[in-house]
Copies of this chain bind each other. A is one copy, B any other.
C-alpha cells in the first residue's frame, strides 16, 4: 500500500502547507519572483521537499490555483446561501461576492497570472482552466435560470455575466484606484437587470 489511511494525514498537511506557502509567496513577491526555493523557505522546509510532494513547480502552481479556486467557489456559495430564497437576491449576492474581499484582491491576481502563463504551453493546464471556466458558468446558469432567463438565452447570458465579472475583477486588481468594489457591483447589477428584464 502506498498511503495507509492513518498515515496520509501528515503528508496531506505538508502538501497543504506548501500550497499555502505558494499562495503567500505569489502574493508577496509576484509571479516572476516565485521560485521553488522561495516557497520552500516560506514553508520552512528544504527545497527538495517540493519535488517530493509535487511533480514540479508547475504542478504546485496548478494545485495552488485549484485551491484558490476552491476558496473562491466556497466563498461565493456561502454568499448565495446567506442571501435567502429569492432568486434575484441570490444572483446579486453571487456577483457582489466576486468584488468583495478576499476575492477581489491584488494578492490573488499573481496566482491567476502565474497560472495563465502556463495555459498556452501545457495542455493539461489548459484543460484545468476550461474546467474552472465551465464550472463558474454552470453555477451562473443555474442562478440565471432561477431568475426566469429562458433556456435558449442561458448560455450567452452566462458567458456575458462571467466576462463582465471577470473584467471588472481584473481591473479592480490591476488598478484599485480606478473604481471601487461598490461601483463594480452597481455596474454588474444593472447588467443583470437588463438581462432579466429582456429575457422574461
Contacts and interface: CB of A to CB of B under 8 A. Distances in A.
Interface of A: 30-33, 106, 109-110, 113-114, 116-121, 126, 129-130, 133-134, 156, 159-160, 162-168, 170-171, 174-175, 177-179, 183-184, 186-188, 190-191, 194-195, 198
B187 A31 contact: no
Contact of A159 (B33, B121, B133, B179): B179
Given A163-B167, A194-B198, A119 B174 contact: yes
A198 B120 CA distance: 40
A154 to B, nearest CB: 12
Total copies of the chain: 2
Given A31-B117, A32-B118, A170 B171 contact: no
A108 to B, nearest CB: 11
A200 to B, nearest CB: 14
Nearest to A160: B187
Contact of A164 (B134, B160, B198): B160
A174 B117 contact: no
Given A32-B121, A130-B175, 6 more contacts: A129-B174, A133-B171, A156-B187, A156-B190, A160-B168, A166-B171
A110 B39 CA distance: 24
Contacts of A116: 109, 113, 174
B178 A130 contact: yes
Interchain residue pairs A-B with the least CB separation, the first 5: A163-B167, A167-B167, A194-B194, A166-B167, A163-B168
Contact of A120 (B30, B119, B171, B190): B30
Contact of A167 (B165, B174, B177, B187): B165
Contacts of A194: 191, 194-195, 198
A118 B30 CA distance: 8
Contacts of A159: 168, 171, 178-179, 183-184, 187
